[in-house]
Amino acid sequence: MSIFLPLALLVASPGASAAQLEWAGHYRARGLLYDSLSLSDTNAQSEGTSNLFDHRLRLQPRFHITERVGLYAQFDALNLVPWGEQIEAWEDPVTGDSTYLAYDQTLVSPTTTTGAATPSGIAVTRAWGEIYTDIGRFRFGRVPLHWGAGIWQNDGFSPDAEYGDTADRIQFTSRVGVLYLMAAWDVNYEGYLNVPDDMQSLNAAFAYQTESLGVGFHNQYRWQPSESLSLYTGDLWARAQMGSVEIETEVVGVFGAGNLGGGANDMRISSVGAMLRGNAEFDKILVGVEVGLATGDAEPDDSNIKTFTFDRDHNLTLMMFEEPMPLLEATTANETNGGRDYDAVLTGEGIRNAMYLRPRVGYRFLPELTADVAVFGAQAARLPEADRDNKGYGWEVDATVTYEPYEHFALRGMFGVFLPGKYYSSYEDDELGGGFDKPALGGKLMGTVQF
């Protein structure tokens, strides 16, 4: 845990008394159970039941050094590290033999793949400074990105999130009357020195926001000279709170042209993503609905890219667009594949090429106990002519119970059933076979301490 030594020294140093230190973050322990993400019990490589327990500790210290200067950071420890990984190996000094696994009782922080001494279970994820001036706030460093409902830029701060968007950025934010204005420059990719292969972005946004109403428009222009790439993204967001009813919407358009690497040259890009949701609470009854669109492509092999993918942390389900499906069991398990074969996967960890509907209804039994049921149905937005009769991804029904008996602690259980549609069941590969039509069951149990 040597990575926390600079923090400890700063807190303990004589000059640190002038700074105010605030902590935010969480620890999450999560268990997952699936039967089966292969969507088949007849395929020769079907994996059957799978389960996993993992950790995550996120620490977000905030140093308010003066009224004008602040320092922020994020440390992720044991991030998605499975329970039981990695057992300590040692030799008996008397016999010189390695200890039998059945006798060992000590786990250590996982090391890097090269065996380096720095634990891979601890990472400095973000670090940035903030300067508050009379005309606005300057932010510089490796900062989290978030905009609107999070279907394009999502900071991943939620305990349910897995990823989080981050940029090396210089940003200025100010308020002019009722408007908040933001301008920023990002370095998205640093290539070779003295070679024009860096990818950079310019951002400009404005927003009007109160407790009951918010609307904003974010513009980003991204370019990479070496690949003749230029890309514009526009994102319009709005939210309204009317008593117990909240409505939120976000529409994103991505347009551009250039080379994308990997032989994808002279490409043209035009894709759109959109969502609209409403939530309401009447006495103890909770209701909500979300609809969304991520454009697809009827000709995926041409030079025009029309498919949009939502941010992977826009989480709506337990399985569909959350877990790669259908997964198969690897012919030979090793550290690289983790025992799984992904060659038959048709959908991954983000809503992509889809039109979806998600109604939900819940009930607050006690102030600390709620339960709800959500139904998620989706079909492909566009497919090639030969597959147009197989648009249906299917339906998923998820039941969730949340128990929060104490402040800062939550226990959440989720159970889901996924009924695969023709998009999966009609798929067949000469080598991998088919038969991906079996319903999948899933469960998640998560305990969170948040502060």
Domain limits of the chain? 2-81+121-450, 82-120
Write down the pLDDT at residue 26. Answer: 97
Write down the pLDDT at residue 120. Answer: 57
Write down the pLDDT at residue 19. Answer: 74
pLDDT digit string (tens) for the chain, length 451 residues? 444 444 443 444 444 445 799 999 999 999 999 999 999 988 888 988 999 999 999 999 999 999 999 999 999 988 888 888 777 666 667 766 666 566 566 666 666 655 554 555 688 999 999 999 999 999 999 999 999 999 999 999 999 999 999 999 999 999 998 899 999 999 999 888 888 888 999 999 999 999 899 999 999 999 999 999 999 999 999 999 999 999 999 999 999 999 987 778 999 999 999 999 999 999 999 999 999 999 999 998 899 999 999 999 999 999 999 999 999 998 887 877 778 889 999 999 999 999 999 999 999 999 999 999 999 999 999 999 989 899 999 999 999 999 999 999 999 999 999 999 999 999 988 888 888 999 999 999 999 999 9
User: By the 8 A CB rule, do 326 and 347 touch?
Assistant: no
**Closest Cα partner for 3 from 48, 57, 44, 82?**
57
User: By the 8 A CB rule, do 233 and 222 touch?
Assistant: yes
Give the rounded distance of the alpha carbon of 266 from its chain centre: 30
pTM: 0.88
The three-state DSSP-derived secondary structure of the chain is CHHHHHHHHHHHCHHHHHCEEEEEEEEEEEEEEEECCCCCCCCCCCCCCEEEEEEEEEEEEEEECCCCEEEEEEEEECCCCECCCCECCCECCCCCCECCCCCCCCECCCECCCCCCCECCEEEEEEEEEEECCCCEEEEEEEECCCCCCCCCCCCCCCCCCCCCEEEEEEEEEEECCEEEEEEEEEEECCCCCCCCCEEEEEEEEEEECCCEEEEEEEEEEEEHHHCEEEEEEEEEEEEEECCEEEEEEEEEEEEEECCCCCCCCEEEEEEEEEEEEEEEECCEEEEEEEEEECCCCCCCCCEECCCECCCCCCCCCCCCCCCECCEECCCCCCCCCCEECCCCCECCCCECEEEEEEEEEEEEECCEEEEEEEEEEECCCCCHHHHHHCEEEEEEEEEEEEEEECCEEEEEEEEEEEECHHHHCCCECCCECCCCCCEEEEEEEEEEEC
What is the CATH class of 2-81+121-450?
mainly beta
116: its two tokens? 């380096």
Write down the pLDDT at residue 2. Answer: 45
